[in-house]
Structure 1
């Protein structure tokens, strides 16, 4: 069998390897980090902020608890229709200047408060100025097509795609050629396993690479 290695940024992805050891959660989820780790989970991506002022009330305490268990920690911002610059600043102040924290921007339909393409670009550029890192962009393939397909700035970010399917690969948005993380289930729809010990049914995410790559490059994708 031939093994294909793809260079993405400054790290290597082994194309025939996928790791299913990441979850994403918020204050809506109850979690026992010890049990989740015992169930094989390596990384947790937690909601940190939304808009210009909101901070997930469980974020800080859970960040400390996850670190005690030796889990990889990530933070995502839920984008809204407001200045992307100010949202990036709010996210940065809440998360802190920690290079070990994976950073992500959640872009999804939110009625009249949906983040615009221009605001998403502002957020990315502002966060790069603050951290010297690009956030991962999260969203569904269908929704993100009108963002990634029109934006060179957003295409510089790695993709975290949501697609609940039984297929072996997710559908990609227009403009994307690969995915880094794939939210393959929301705990109800999508392939199994859908549960994690210490959490129950939840969002689970596959990583497009090896476990070593996931651990070694977490926070710097």
Structure 2
């Protein structure tokens, strides 16, 4: 029997194609930390969930798209005053739930994070909405959730760079990027254009048992977190990882490291090293592109012309952004071209499996 076990272990470590044991179901390794992420409709029995000592962190949905108006005056875009008040109550309850979960999680020693569900619309207003809602503390993770590359359905990748730059200007840290395999692959293939997005730590969503031949992916040599279990591949009969006190729709993530190691880097905030682009795409790393986006501007309003600045001026971006926000003006943001490319190489943009992000399931979650 011992010989069979040893042989199986050897086979697993020497699988063809360079596949190693860490590429295959890393959540089965008891040393790897588990992280839960949830939105407001996920039911959680906290005492039961906390009984799982592998759970090291909890990431909560915070803001969603642009901030809504709850003044209950005027036409409300066709809504009635009663509907306006109902939406305000929903917002107030979800906001209080967010704060309650944060208190519970941190009191129990869990790492805390928050994500913004990115939608079409002014990225500066969305970034401010996220910061006002989540109120992230220095040791907490911030994440930007990009579901696909169709700018009609999701925040465009160009605007996502503006969002990330504005978060950096206001907090001194960049967010983590949550996205699926198709979108990550597209960003990596176009990293000369998306020089901010392609260097954000990757919170990777893919519902397969392994990630053979996925990494390195552009600037990403590995994932920061891998969302491996969700409503798309967890049911009453089978589930990659069951979390006590939750239903099958809870999202579960694994870190490629232990709980203690994850705690040391949890706040993230820095860009990953940029691999050489080569050829005509090579641009000095100390040069960035900035653009001004009016607060409250419509999504289709033109942005100002990009202006290159050197590393010496980057330090002043946060001060400019802060003073501009206070005065209701413009804010200096990192961005790339405002024109969003069309999908290439047959890239798909499946709907998210997370009910809090999109109720529709991917057509084929295995390739999500």
**TM-score per shorter chain, which class?**
0.7 to 0.9
CA distance, structure 1, for counterparts of residue 246 and residue 116 of structure 2: 21
1:213 aligned onto 2:253: no
Cα distance change of structure 1 residues 207 and 161 upon mapping to structure 2, 3 Å threshold: same
Q: What corresponds to 2:241 in structure 1? A: 194
Gaps of at least 5 residues in structure 2 are: 1-21, 69-90, 270-368
1:93 aligned onto 2:93: no
What SS does structure 1 have at the residue aligned with 2:115? strand
CA contact (8 A) 2:33 2:262 kept: no
CA distance, structure 1, for counterparts of residue 227 and residue 153 of structure 2: 23
Q: What corresponds to 1:143 in structure 2? A: 183
CA contact (8 A) 1:19 1:206 kept: yes
CA contact (8 A) 2:33 2:56 kept: no
What SS does structure 1 have at the residue aligned with 2:34? strand
Q: What corresponds to 2:172 in structure 1? A: 132
Post-superposition, which runs of at least 4 consecutive aligned residues in structure 1 deviate over 6 A?
14-18
Cα displacement (A) at 1:72 = 1.3
1:28-107 maps to which residues of 2 (within 5 A)? Answer: 28-40=41-53, 41-53=55-67, 56-57=94-95, 58-107=97-146
Larger helix share, 1 or 2: 2
- Structure 1 window deviating more from structure 2 (77-86 vs 17-26): it is 17-26
RMSD: 2.7
Cα displacement (A) at 1:168 = 5.7
What SS does structure 2 have at the residue aligned with 1:200? coil
Cα displacement (A) at 1:169 = 5.5
Match of 1:19 among 15, 19, 32: 32
Cα distance change of structure 1 residues 93 and 139 upon mapping to structure 2, 3 Å threshold: same
Cα distance change of structure 1 residues 220 and 143 upon mapping to structure 2, 3 Å threshold: closer
Cα displacement (A) at 1:163 = 0.6
CA contact (8 A) 1:137 1:157 kept: yes
Q: What corresponds to 2:202 in structure 1? A: 159
Which of the pair has the greater relative contact order for Cα pairs under 8 Å at 6+ separation? 1
What SS does structure 1 have at the residue aligned with 2:144? strand
Gaps of at least 5 residues in structure 1 are: 1-13
Cα displacement (A) at 1:155 = 1.9
Larger-gyration structure (1/2): 2
TM-score (normalised: structure 2): 0.51
Q: What corresponds to 1:5 in structure 2? A: none
